Amino acid sequence: MERSLPKKIMKLKLKSLLLDFFLQVTLPFCRIPWVLLVLRHVCYQRRRALRRVLEARLRAAGDYGDDVQRGPFAGLKYLPPERYASFRFEKIIGAYEHELHDWLGELSRTRNYATILNIGAAEGYFTAGLARLFPGAHVLSWETEAENRNYCSDLLSLNGLSDRVTIHGFCTLGDLKALDPAGPVLVMMDVDVGERLLLDPAQVPWLRRADVLVETHDCLPGGEGICQLMKDRFGSSHAIRQVTSTGLRYTDYPLLRPLLFEEIHALVGEDRPGMQDWLLMQPLTPGS
């Protein structure tokens, strides 16, 4: 045993030297901009692959199905995972944009909307969820991508909501100007800096009487100052509340408890480039 000890020490020293050499060589290489881009893409693809493995494992165990488990849209039925939907896992467990849950719960208790506009609807999570949450409302949904609109249509049909939702394509300022929606009105918008053009009560006067829930995108190119711009535009007519994106409290979701942090990040780490804000803006004069 005594004779084997020097060998072990030599092996450890050799490993340490090789590791130091590897770090010395790779660190400067990884600082090259194009190398960083490649590595970022590889890491993203690895995370996507891990997510698929985990989702399949959880589904096989019966823990991950097609019904939203918690949050304001709990009970909403989703299409099977063979049909791709962005952030599907987060939506099913009720973690997606959890920052909005308190506001949506409050609105469901205090407001009885006649018209809801969901602009930037993606595959229809909020379109269907809001239609279900406010059964007396007619929902107008705008989404640019045809594949997303098809998914939304099927999602609405699955939940028996098709008769109260109208799906449109790309939303323009002219589309909003042409409307005179029956009130009370809720506008929910997520259009990646398009809010700068579309949310302007000087151009669309009926916005002054609408509740507006908007995701602002100051962290995106072209989005600098949008959050403050929205406050400036609506500050004289609306009471404004703001919430900033926050980390997920994992303990609220028992399904995550047995997982490793790497696995949790693969499943619920949203692909946001930076911190974002949501504004809930409600008219100072109710019914105005």
Query: Distances in Å between the alpha carbon of 260 and those of 40, 49, 97?
Result: 21, 16, 22
For strand 138-142 and strand 165-168, is the pairing parallel, antiparallel, or unpaired?
parallel
For strand 211-216 and strand 277-283, is the pairing parallel, antiparallel, or unpaired?
antiparallel
Using DSSP's 3-state secondary structure scheme, residue 244 falls into strand
What pLDDT is attached to residue 246? 86
Max distance between CA atoms of the chain, in angstroms, equals 89
What pLDDT is attached to residue 6? 73
What pLDDT is attached to residue 95? 93
Here the tokens at position 67 are 């019904």
What's phi and psi for 140, nearest 5 deg? Answer: -105, 125
Spell out where 39-163 has E strands: 115-119, 138-142
End-to-end CA distance of the chain: 88
pLDDT (tens digit, 0 to 9) for every residue of the chain, 288 residues total? 455 667 777 777 777 777 777 677 777 767 788 777 887 888 878 888 998 999 999 999 999 999 999 999 999 999 999 999 999 999 999 999 999 999 999 999 999 999 999 999 999 999 999 999 999 999 999 999 999 999 999 999 999 999 999 999 999 999 999 999 988 999 999 998 889 999 999 999 999 999 999 999 888 888 899 999 999 999 999 999 999 988 888 999 989 999 999 999 999 877 777 788 999 999 998 654
Nearest residue to 245 via CA among 268, 222, 261: 268
Query: Distances in Å between the alpha carbon of 95 and those of 106, 142, 232, 248, 267?
Result: 18, 23, 31, 8, 11
Q: Which residues contact 276 (CB under 8 A, 6 or more apart)?
A: 215, 216, 217, 218, 219, 244, 245
Distance CA 67, CA 288 (A): 38
Here the tokens at position 268 are 């619920």
What pLDDT is attached to residue 1? 47
Check if the beta carbon of residue 263 is closer than 8 Å to that of residue 50: yes
How much of the chain is helix, strand and coil, in % rounded to 5? 45, 15, 40
What pLDDT is attached to residue 287? 58
The number of angstroms, rounded, from the C-alpha of 139 to the middle of its chain's C-alpha atoms is: 20
Q: Enter the pTM of the model.
A: 0.85
Strand partners, 167: 141
Check if the beta carbon of residue 189 is closer than 8 Å to that of residue 213: yes
Nearest residue to 201 via CA among 252, 236, 250, 158: 236
Here the tokens at position 203 are 């151009």
Check if the beta carbon of residue 90 is closer than 8 Å to that of residue 270: yes
Distance CA 259, CA 54 (A): 9
**Could you give the domains of the chain?**
4-60 (no CATH), 88-283 (3.40.50.150)
Q: Which residues contact 221 (CB under 8 A, 6 or more apart)?
A: 193
